[in-house]
Structure 1
């Protein structure tokens, strides 16, 4: 079975359309359609139901889906094992990371890596940390350098690299900065700007408010922490950010949290799929990451 046809099939499943699958694979829509037609001819049955612009898997497509992923994973792992035998560090390396980590943690690491291994073709995808787990499960990336989930994932290996303390912050002229200590109840009286509800950071804040039965007022949300920082710095609302982002235009609030032994924080690190073969490039990147991890 032609792997290029299976790749097109999975791209349509993951994106939900022929045109977006084409963009993902750098192909025209007719080229994607041609590959699916060849796949369906080989199988002797359609794999999609096409109703208007909507594309959904039919029963044959649903049966093919897990097998297609396994076949492509086997081909990928076989190629990697053969390439790895040479000991050379080269070829593609697909990585997912968040904008914050990409801006604040990875520049020096990426600079060193590209200098040491110029034959590696890096494919860096800036996505929400939560999405990285799905991408890794689907085999779209080899590594994720992200905010680690507080919940364990039995099929994904994770390793902490950096402890990332968080702080409640507000502009210097915000009413909350006049208080020596701030309670969660006082925070609830003012609007906040926070990452989206599906993010680990938002869940940290929401859990604190839920414990006291308080309502969290959210003025707006975005997963770009630099944007949240700007919105808080101009006095629009309070926010919670990594302490490394605090500067003269933001004050860290002394928030008293009931029943909480330590201030809120995140753990940053990398994730990989333990059942998939890692390329030499991925192994080299992990070694470089470990050289830059926290000493604590």
Structure 2
């Protein structure tokens, strides 16, 4: 059972499309189809049902899926372990980061890293933190630099590097802006007006919702998005108050004085505990660790 056929199988299963899988693997669609056919012949069973334009795993395909992931994980892990023996820092580093961290925290780190390790092919993915967690868990990502989950995962090594203080903010002409100049606001005061927030299922969104839930209040969310830069725009034009990292508060926004303890969200990196890290990943971790105090 060759790894190329397994890679094609995984790509089709995850994309639910032969054409999209071909794009991801930089192959032609006939080449992907041939690899799947070879695997099906070897196993003596169909792995996909093709119903119109839809692709779905058969029962056999569903059984093979976790095994294929484990086989490829083990093969890649062995390759990294052998490559590490030379001490050479090169090859591909598959790294995910959230959009906010990628814009506000990583640029100087990445610049220094690429200057020092020019032979590393950096495969950078911008993902929601929750997606990045799953990518590290299933082995498609070697590491991620994201907002950290509120609860630890036994298969992940998670290291906090920074903390964002989340600030209550609104547009300069929002009614809450005038009120905050006169007195401290309560969480109940805020709930009299619509807000714009991160998605409820995001780590940041759940952290915020928990604070209001503890006060027996429900957030009056009028719009939600996982992109903090978009939230800032919506907040600045008066579509609602929001909670944003302190480094995003500028002249377009007013930071509200709210009578509640500060809300912080942890940021850092994560790797799989059972994965042998490449030398490239180890050097990236050293670069990240060096940025702790910045």
Query: For residue 287 of structure 1, what is the aligned residue in structure 2?
Result: 286
How many correspondences in the alignment?
Answer: 291
Equivalent-residue separation in structure 2 for 1:27 and 1:285 (angstroms): 30
List per-residue Cα deviations over 1:109-134 (Å, max 9, x = no partner). Answer: 00000000000000000000011111
Query: For residue 262 of structure 2, what is the aligned residue in structure 1?
Result: 263
3-state secondary structure, aligned to 1:255: coil
Equivalent-residue separation in structure 2 for 1:13 and 1:119 (angstroms): 32
Query: For residue 22 of structure 1, what is the aligned residue in structure 2?
Result: 22
Matched, 1:211 2:214: yes
3-state secondary structure, aligned to 2:102: helix
| 1:213-252 matches, cutoff 5 A | 213-252=216-255
| 1:115-194 matches, cutoff 5 A | 115-179=115-179, 180-194=183-197
Equivalent-residue separation in structure 2 for 1:21 and 1:197 (angstroms): 31
List per-residue Cα deviations over 1:207-252 (Å, max 9, x = no partner). Answer: 1222233232222122111111111112221111101111111111
3-state secondary structure, aligned to 1:144: strand
Equivalent-residue separation in structure 2 for 1:270 and 1:216 (angstroms): 30
Equivalent-residue separation in structure 2 for 1:79 and 1:215 (angstroms): 51
Cα shift at 1:28: 2.6
Q: Runs of 4 or more off by more than 3 Å in structure 1?
A: none
Equivalent-residue separation in structure 1 for 2:81 and 2:237 (angstroms): 53
Equivalent-residue separation in structure 2 for 1:212 and 1:120 (angstroms): 49
Equivalent-residue separation in structure 2 for 1:47 and 1:239 (angstroms): 47
Equivalent-residue separation in structure 2 for 1:13 and 1:165 (angstroms): 40
Taking structure 1 as the reference length, what is the TM-score of the superposition?
A: 0.95
List per-residue Cα deviations over 1:15-55 (Å, max 9, x = no partner). Answer: 22222222221223222211111110111111122222222
Pairwise CA RMSD: 1.3
Matched, 1:91 2:94: no
| Structure 1: unaligned runs, 5 residues or longer | none
Query: For residue 3 of structure 2, what is the aligned residue in structure 1?
Result: 3
Matched, 1:60 2:65: no
Matched, 1:276 2:279: no
